[in-house]
Amino acid sequence: MSKIWLITGASSGLGRIMTEDLLERGDKVVATIRRKDALTDLKREYGDRLIVMMLEMTDTVAIRSAVAGAFGHVGRIDVVVSNAGYGLFGAAEEVADADIDRQIATNLTGSIQLIRAVLPYLRQQGGGRIMQVSSEGGQIAYPNFSLYHTTKWGIEGFIESVAQEVAPFRIDCIIVEPGPTGTNFAAGMVHAAPMAVYDDTPAGAVRKAIDAGTFPINGDARRTVAAMIAAADSEKPPFRLPLGSKAYDNITRELASRLTSIETQRDVAYSADGKR
C-alpha cells in the first residue's frame, strides 16, 4: 500500500534521493525546498504525486502555513521526515554571531517548529510517524563542529521527550544518525573565518582534513536512504537508527566510554541525596 510523505530539505542530498526513491516506487511526496526549480525534473516526471512547496525553515509562520497547506491538500500524511539542515564549520571562537543564530534557527528551532506544527494533524488522523534526521553528531562530537553538534544534540533531546508525549496518540518517532556520507553536505557548509591560533590544534586538524578531502566518508547515500525508508515502513521501527559503520563504531565507543566514566562517580552521585 502506497504512503504519503512530507519531506523537508528535498532539494539535494538525502532528502532529494528519498524523494526520488519514494516516487519511483509509487508513493506520494510533499517536498519542501529552498531553491526554486530544484525538483522541476521530478515534477515533470511524476506530476500530481509530487507536491513541491517553497519553505524557509527559519520562518515559523511559514512552517505552520506549509504544514497546513500540505495536510489540506493531501488529507493524510503517513510519514513526516524532518531533514532540512546544514553544517556550520569552525571553532566556537571563530564563528560569527549571525551564523550561530541561523544555524540554531534552521537545524534546531526549525525542526522543533515543524514537529510542533504536524502533531495536531497526526493526532487528528489517528497516528503517524516522525523521522528526524540527526547525525552521529547527535551522540558524539568532532572539533570544529561545535554549533552543528549543538543543534543535533538538542534535537535528539527534544525527540526523546516528544516521543513519550505522543506515544498514546499512536505517533512514533525515529531518530536517524548517519555517519559521514557521500552527499553534498560539505559543499553546503558555512565556513567561519579561520584563526591561525587554531592551526595546530584538533580543530585545525579537522579543518585541514576537510579542505584536503581526506576526512573519511564511508556512508553511501542511496544505501542510507534505503535503510531510512525500510525503517519507516517497518511495523516496529527502531527509535534510533545509526547508519554507516563509522557512525555505529563511533557512537557505541562513545556511549561505552561515557558509561565507564559515569560509573566511577557512583559514590559521589549517591552522596548528594538527602537523608531519609
User: What's the CATH code of the domain at 107?
Assistant: 3.40.50.720
Q: What grid cell was written down for 270? A: 549517591
Q: Report how many domains make up the chain.
A: 1
Q: Please report whether residue 229 resides in a domain.
A: yes
Q: Please report whether residue 31 resides in a domain.
A: yes
Contact 148, 137 (CB under 8 A): yes
Give the domain range for residue 166: 4-270
Q: Which of 121, 148, 198, 248 is catalytic?
A: 148
> What is the chain's pLDDT, residue by residue, as a tens digit (276 residues)?
799 999 999 999 999 999 999 999 999 999 999 988 999 999 999 999 999 999 999 999 999 999 999 999 999 999 999 999 999 999 999 999 999 999 999 999 999 999 999 999 999 999 999 999 999 999 999 999 999 999 999 999 999 999 999 999 999 999 999 987 767 666 677 999 999 999 999 999 998 888 887 777 788 899 999 999 999 999 999 999 999 999 999 999 999 999 999 999 999 999 999 987
Q: Please report whether residue 246 resides in a domain.
A: yes
What are all long-range contacts of 104-110, with beta carbons under 8 Å and residues at least 24 apart? 104/147, 104/150, 104/151, 105/57, 105/58, 106/57, 106/58, 106/151, 107/148, 107/151, 107/152, 107/155, 108/150, 108/151, 108/154, 108/155, 108/158, 109/58, 109/60, 110/57, 110/58, 110/63, 110/84, 110/85
Q: Please report whether residue 275 resides in a domain.
A: no
Contact 241, 174 (CB under 8 A): yes
| Spatial strand order in the sheet of 240-243 | 50-54, 28-33, 4-7, 79-82, 128-133, 171-178, 240-243
Q: Is 270 a catalytic residue?
A: no
